[in-house]
Amino acid sequence: MHHMFLTELVRGMGIIVGHYFMEPATINYPFEKGPLSSRFRGEHALRRYPSGEERCIACKLCEAICPAQAITIEAESRPDGSRRTT
């Protein structure tokens, strides 16, 4: 019984020492940034023209690509034939 405890203790200490020298799995976020995907395009934002009009043409691509399905777009036709969000 005493021999089994000692071998398990030595094995556990070996694991601890091995993990001590490994690279950390976490990063210090505000000060260190993680790797970015080559497909990353930046933050999501609804841009506007200098006149204040939204640049969205209601193509609904952002609604289709959103993995959380958190974006919904309602559109209507304008008198000139273009579509804009409502």
pLDDT tens-digit profile of 28-44? 888 988 888 887 777 77
Mean pLDDT of 3-8: 83
Please report how many Cα atoms fall inside a 13 Å half-sphere around the Cα of residue 34, on the Cβ side. Answer: 8
Give Cα separations from 79 to 29, 66, 82, 84 (angstroms): 49, 30, 8, 11
Instruction: Give the whole-angstrom CA distance, residue 5 versus residue 12.
Output: 10
- As beta bridge partners, residue 28 has none
pLDDT at site 18: 93
Strand locations in the chain, DSSP E?
75-77, 83-85
What total number of domains does the chain contain? Answer: 1
Residue 74 belongs to what domain range? 2-37+45-85
Q: At 11, is the secondary structure helix, strand, or coil?
A: helix
